[in-house]
A = this chain, B = another copy of it.
Amino acid sequence: MQIDEQEFFKKTHIEITSEDGAKIMGKPIGKYITIESQSLKENNPQAHKQIIQEVANIIKSLLPKVDEKLKVLAIGLGNRQATPDTLGPYVTDKVFVTRHLMEFVPAEIEKNVANLSSLAPGVMGLTGIETSEIVKGTAEHIKPHCIIAIDSLGARSASRINTTIQITNTGISPGAGIGNKRKQLDESTVGCPVIAIGVPTVVDAATLVNDTMDYLIESMLSETQDATFYQMLKDLGDQEKYSLIKKTITPTIGNLFVTPKDIDEVIMYLGNVISNAINIAVHPSITIDDINKYAY
């Protein structure tokens, strides 16, 4: 694991290189890069600029090297009608798509841009269709070298909400954030490598309760000798404890999610960071000086 601390962000880079490593980590072989920054949820253009450049570099390092013009399909996962879930469609609406212009532009201009297209396939609850079916069907016609999939995620802890960008070259499960986990989007299901860019924008209620109880009990116990209840909870093991809380919470408030009050605004910050980073990573002639020029 490499850690890189910069002025406005912290980058963590993990690479799983063997089947054994994959088993230990419980994740497929591949690269896992995380950018952490409190500035992501604030109106901080200077910090965002630094992060855009870094995310662009990371995406570029994960894109396949090809001899012809690079063909990329950006997939914006999520539900346009639930604010914390709109990050994916926001990004695909903003990236600078060029695929449809290829035949019309002069050769001089054409060489400055990649062949980029985008699609926001919606969510299964509203379409009745597995996202992977729409993506695979479309990819069979476009034949991209690579898919970049952007999605809102569920946070594993409340403190990570809107402060973390997770990038991997191993694919993604649509709807892992809010809604049920769906069929994986990866090379085996859609036919080309899938770079996934995810941002935790919500936390489920049970996780929130779990985390808070942990903090609370820990701090209370430091002041007492007797710890029967805590010991009891601790003996359960993490997974069992979570399940217990989940089971307790579900009948009353099953369908709730936890998200910041200013989520509309924060989605805009995050969406601008990611769409600018994709434009810079994918198109040869777009640079950090063009921020918001192609992705207002």
Binding site for B on A (CB under 8 A): 43, 45, 80-83, 92-93, 97-101, 116-122, 124-130, 133-134, 136-142, 158-159, 161, 178-179, 203, 205, 208-209, 211-213, 215-217, 219-221, 224, 226-230, 232, 244-245, 248-249, 252-253, 255-265, 268-269, 292-294, 296
Residue of A119, A159, A219 with most chain B CB atoms under a 10 A cut-off? A119
A-B CB contact pairs (8 Å), 5 listed: A97-B128, A134-B141, A137-B137, A178-B261, A215-B252
Q: Give the number of times this chain occurs in the complex, counting copies.
A: 4
| Known contacts A128-B100, A220-B229, A248-B215, A134 near B158 by CB under 8 Å | no
- What is the chain B residue whose CB lies nearest that of A80? B80
Contact among B122, B161, B294 for A119, CB-based, below 8 A: B122
Q: Are A257 and B261 in contact (CB under 8 A)?
A: yes
Residue of A82, A83, A256, A292 with most chain B CB atoms under a 10 A cut-off? A256
Q: Are A253 and B137 in contact (CB under 8 A)?
A: no
- What is the chain B residue whose CB lies nearest that of A223? B232
Assembled-state Cα–Cα distance A127/B116 (Å): 9
What does DSSP make chain A's interface, helix, strand, loop or mixed?
helix
Residue of A161, A203, A229, A257 with most chain B CB atoms under a 10 A cut-off? A229
Contacts of A219 in B (CB 8 A): 248
Q: Are B292 and A45 in contact (CB under 8 A)?
A: yes
Q: A118-B127, A119-B122 are in contact. List 15 more A-B contacts (CB 8 A).
A: A43-B292, A43-B294, A80-B80, A99-B129, A100-B125, A158-B205, A203-B253, A208-B209, A209-B212, A212-B245, A224-B228, A226-B228, A228-B228, A257-B260, A265-B296
